[in-house]
Amino acid sequence: TLELPVLPLWASQGIEAVCVLTFFWEMSYKVTFMGQKAFFSSPAHLVQLLILVLDAAGIFVSAISANTLTFFNPLLRPMLFAAMSSRTRSALATFMRVLPSLADWAFLLLLLVGFYALLGVLLFGPPDPLLADDGPYFTSVPRALMTLTVLITTANYPDCQLPAYSLQRASFLFFASFLVVGLFFLMSMFLAEIVHSYRRQLDAEAVLAKARRDEGLAFAFKLLDFNHNGFVALKDFNVLIHRLQLPVLDTFSDEEELLPMGLHVPGPPRNLVTA
């Protein structure tokens, strides 16, 4: 723990239980506000409830048995954060949509690493007289794959090259060609494709958001145009602005509270806000 202060088990479980109860209260608030049908039709809400139930079950099991520690509770916390945060879900969804466009470049990288791994074992492996004692880098194909995967980030360079280079200067061509093709060409193209694909997804999301905004504005105008005159009276618009400036909890107020202000709606205020 690097001599950092650590909370006792009961304290950490108590804090986690308070957080879980707070999230459950938020879920109940959403059910009350949105309605059961709209709430349970959202996959994100179902995932949130599932994670909360599993987390609560882990806390309960640990509480009734002091010697039992649930291993999955720490794993659920980042999942719960991703499920509860709409921005995180949006970023993950964008990332998942970008992945298919990267498959070609990823496949080329795998081919390059695989080819050079086989070549490295043939050139620098123990059976080859070129290098009798090559160290831990090219003793087998799996080890060579790991070595070259790290080498493409230059994290183990020139360590992986020195044993072969000390015996044969020409071995420099093997590592130099791998770095030129893999690092300076394929990795650059791979990163460029990531940026381009991500930018393309953001542009598509911006177009979709604009279309939804225009649709929402058109629907809101239709709701405010009570007499179907093709325009919204300034008085009705002022009532709307006044209504939007009220506290959030006032959304659950009755329709009669709106009638003195001159805003006549066919349904409860919650339907108006939802629309």
pLDDT in tens, 19-38: 888 888 888 888 887 788 88
In a domain, 65, yes or no: yes
pLDDT at 139 over 70: yes
Mean per-residue pLDDT of the chain = 77
User: Do residue 112 and residue 139 come from a single domain?
Assistant: yes
pLDDT more than 70, % of the chain: 80
User: Do residue 44 and residue 23 come from a single domain?
Assistant: yes
User: Do residue 76 and residue 111 come from a single domain?
Assistant: no
For residue 168, what are the domain limits? 102-198
Output the pLDDT for position 245: 65
For the range 248-252, what are the long-range contacts, defined as Cβ-Cβ under 8 Å and sequence gap of 24 or more? 251/33, 252/32, 252/33
pLDDT at 252 over 70: no
User: Do residue 190 and residue 109 come from a single domain?
Assistant: yes
pLDDT at 133 over 80: no
SS (HEC) of the chain: CCCCCCCCHHHHHHHHHHHHHHHHHHHHHHHHHHCHHHHHCCHHHHHHHHHHHHHHHHHHHHHHCCCCCCCCHHHHHHHHHHHHCHHHHHHHHHHHHHHHHHHHHHHHHHHHHHHHHHHHHHHHCCCCCCCCCCCCCCCCHHHHHHHHHHHCCCCCCCCCCHHHHHHCHHHHHHHHHHHHHHHHHHHHHHHHHHHHHHHHHHHHHHHHHHHHHHHHHHHHHHHHCCCCCCCCCHHHHHHHHHHHCCCHHHHHCCHHHCHHHCCCCCCCHHHHHHC
pLDDT at 247 over 70: no
Q: Are 113 and 182 in contact (CB under 8 A)?
A: yes
Average pLDDT estimate for 218-241: 79
Query: Domain ends where: 171, 198, 225?
Result: 198
Output the pLDDT for position 256: 39
Is 238 or 257 the better-scoring residue by pLDDT?
238
User: Do residue 134 and residue 169 come from a single domain?
Assistant: yes
User: Do residue 192 and residue 226 come from a single domain?
Assistant: no
Rounded alpha-carbon distances, angstroms, from residue 207 to 35, 93, 200 = 30, 16, 11
Cα 14 from Cα 26, distance rounded (Å): 18
pLDDT at 253 over 80: no
Q: Are 140 and 117 in contact (CB under 8 A)?
A: no
Query: Domain ends where: 198, 213, 248?
Result: 198
What is the CB-side half-sphere exposure of residue 68 using CA atoms within 13 A? 11
pLDDT at 140 over 70: yes
User: Do residue 181 and residue 237 come from a single domain?
Assistant: no
What is the CB-side half-sphere exposure of residue 232 using CA atoms within 13 A? 17
> Phi/psi of residue 168, each to 5°?
-145, 110
User: Do residue 125 and residue 191 come from a single domain?
Assistant: yes
- CATH number, domain of 176, equals 1.10.287.70
In a domain, 94, yes or no: no
Cα 209 from Cα 62, distance rounded (Å): 45
Cα 130 from Cα 135, distance rounded (Å): 13
Q: Quote the tokens at residue 191.
A: 């990163």
User: Do residue 119 and residue 54 come from a single domain?
Assistant: no
Cα 245 from Cα 130, distance rounded (Å): 80
Average pLDDT estimate for 2-20: 76
In a domain, 1, yes or no: no
Residues 68-108 have pLDDT tens digits of 556 677 788 888 888 887 788 888 888 888 888 888 888 99
User: Do residue 26 and residue 111 come from a single domain?
Assistant: no
Measured over the CA atoms of residue 205, residue 208, residue 212 and residue 213, the dihedral's sign is positive
In a domain, 187, yes or no: yes
pLDDT at 262 over 70: no
Output the pLDDT for position 91: 81
Query: Domain ends where: 198, 216, 235?
Result: 198
User: Do residue 230 and residue 193 come from a single domain?
Assistant: no
In a domain, 219, yes or no: yes
Q: How many domains does the chain have?
A: 3
User: Do residue 264 and residue 212 come from a single domain?
Assistant: yes
In a domain, 255, yes or no: yes
In a domain, 4, yes or no: no
Which residues touch 77 (CB under 8 Å, ≥6 apart)? Answer: 55
| Residue 182 CB neighbours (<10 A) | 21
In a domain, 50, yes or no: yes
Is 59 or 172 the better-scoring residue by pLDDT?
172
Lowest mean pLDDT, pick from 27-31, 47-51, 183-187, 259-263: 259-263
